[in-house]
Structure 1
Amino acid sequence: MTTPATELRAAAALLRDKATEAVHEGRTTWSTGNTLGSRSPVVVDDQEQPSVLIETFAARLERVNSYLTLVGPATGLALADWLDTMARNSNDEGAAFLDHALAVARQVLGTPTTDTVAADRLREAAQRALESLNALIADTTDPGVEALGARHELGQALLNTSLAPASAPAAPADRAAVLREAADIAETLRQFEPAYGPRKDAQVSENVGVLRVADHFRRLADEAQPTEAHPTETEWVLETLWRTTGKWRRFGPSRATRHEADQDHERAVTQDPSRQYRIVRAVTTSTIAPATTATEEPQP
């Protein structure tokens, strides 16, 4: 069972591991600087002999670099210590800032930042519906209509919980896991007790309906966790700012490596230093889109 303490400790451990891996020779603090050749703004862990050098490409790269120095390894390690402290105090009644600590932990872990009450409500509603259904089947000679009503209660509970307003959407992998859990819960509602006459036909029909619901949840889970159709492709492109339009345009062919793009940049600056240039990293990701069913309208 997941508790606030386990979430906080997991986030602290992950954050501490990542921050520690980013440290070289004990340098936990980063600062802004410039490369020796092009004087491009960068983030480094040492001004004289950097072992960490981060070069960003953004419209406001100086501000991005300033932010990176603010949240370097030192900040990550301090935040991990705070999360561990909150985990130790999480069982104290009315622990101060516990909700804020959990929100931070869930951002680190990539899980929903909403309160865990939503997930608990989903499981509790499913459990109540399941218990209600089992009681009806045990006490009723022909539980067809009542069983369908209980099953409808479960479906509505799952639907209402999944559509409840949230302060932040679930991470794709987390949403897929919840949908698959809902499919597993739905399948437990199938009935295999001996039945005869009209009740047997009704039971078969109900079980088919349950399987369709489970299949629907699993299809939604697959859509929430898309599969790459092709490997991700990365290209480096030199661009120049057109004075007449104020827009950035491609200046030469795309390159497979950053080194080739840097060479293009140096040649362009040498030939015409009056122009503004920049190097853009273009990443292409291809995912498999689910096939359109006969009842669905094609998306534009």
Structure 2
Amino acid sequence: MTPADEIKQAATRLRELATAASTDGRDKPTTRWHFKKCDNRGYLYAENPTGPGVRITPSTPANPGMWPRHGDYIATMDPTVGLALADWLDSWTGIDLRDDGPLPEDAQHALTVARALLGQPAPTQWYRTSGFDQHDDYREDTP
């Protein structure tokens, strides 16, 4: 599979997931999400522009919702972000990307995102860190 194929496959997968997450089981629109803190945990809610929203995190007395840091992050990465990211990945369609030579930096990022979405390891020679990974020797800011 070429890098272009991987990017296209990831865009398709992400669009499917984001589209599915855009409605609840009763076809109510749930595209925008928000997190509501309750004590030291909280719940993820999907907004419904045509009526009441829906809580999309299950809870039980033994498992009351999720940690706020996780809920805030998930709500930020709602289906609108997923669809925009899928569009960005799709923008690489038709561009000849190959493994047998260096890729432009922006194509490297697209391939890294695509591989992460597909559950594949990132190409370590292109890996960029946010400060908590195991590939510190590939960081640009390393002296």
1:89 and 1:83 map into 2 onto residues whose CA distance is: 11
1:112 and 1:34 map into 2 onto residues whose CA distance is: 34
Matched residue, 1:87: 93
Which amino acid is 2:79 matched to? P
1:94 and 1:46 map into 2 onto residues whose CA distance is: 40
Which amino acid is 1:16 matched to? R
Q: Does 1:3 align with 2:2?
A: yes
2:122 and 2:52 map into 1 onto residues whose CA distance is: 40
Which amino acid is 2:9 matched to? A
Tell me how many residue pairs correspond in the alignment.
114
Matched residue, 2:110: 101
Larger radius of gyration: 1
Once the two structures are superposed, what CA deviation does each residue of 1:142-195 show, in whole Å capped at 9, x if it has no partner?
xxxxxxxxxxxxxxxxxxxxxxxx95xxxxxxxxxxxxxxxxxxxxxxxxxxxx
2:107 and 2:81 map into 1 onto residues whose CA distance is: 20
Identity in percent? 30
Matched residue, 1:110: 119
2:124 and 2:73 map into 1 onto residues whose CA distance is: 28
Q: Does 1:42 align with 2:43?
A: yes
* 1:29 positional shift: 1.1
1:101 and 1:18 map into 2 onto residues whose CA distance is: 18
Higher helix share: 1
Matched residue, 1:63: 69
2:4 and 2:55 map into 1 onto residues whose CA distance is: 34
Q: Is the 8 A contact 1:41 1:55 kept in 2?
A: no
Q: Which runs of 5+ in 2 are unaligned?
A: 126-133, 136-143
1:34 and 1:75 map into 2 onto residues whose CA distance is: 22
Secondary structure of the residue aligned to 1:83 is helix
Q: Could you state the TM-score of these two structures normalised by the residue count of structure 1?
A: 0.33
Structure-to-structure mapping, 1:204-243, within 5 angstroms:
none
Q: Could you state the TM-score of these two structures normalised by the residue count of structure 2?
A: 0.64
* 1:95 positional shift: 4.0
Q: Which runs of 5+ in 1 are unaligned?
A: 117-165, 168-300
1:64 and 1:8 map into 2 onto residues whose CA distance is: 27
1:51/1:34 CA distance change after superposition, 3 Å:
same
1:83 and 1:52 map into 2 onto residues whose CA distance is: 30
Q: Is the 8 A contact 1:19 1:73 kept in 2?
A: yes
Residue in structure 2 matching 1:73, options 76, 79, 83 = 79
Greater relative CO, 1 or 2 (CA 8 Å, sep 6+):
2
1:12 and 1:97 map into 2 onto residues whose CA distance is: 16
1:46 and 1:13 map into 2 onto residues whose CA distance is: 25
1:70 and 1:14 map into 2 onto residues whose CA distance is: 19
* 1:26 positional shift: 3.4
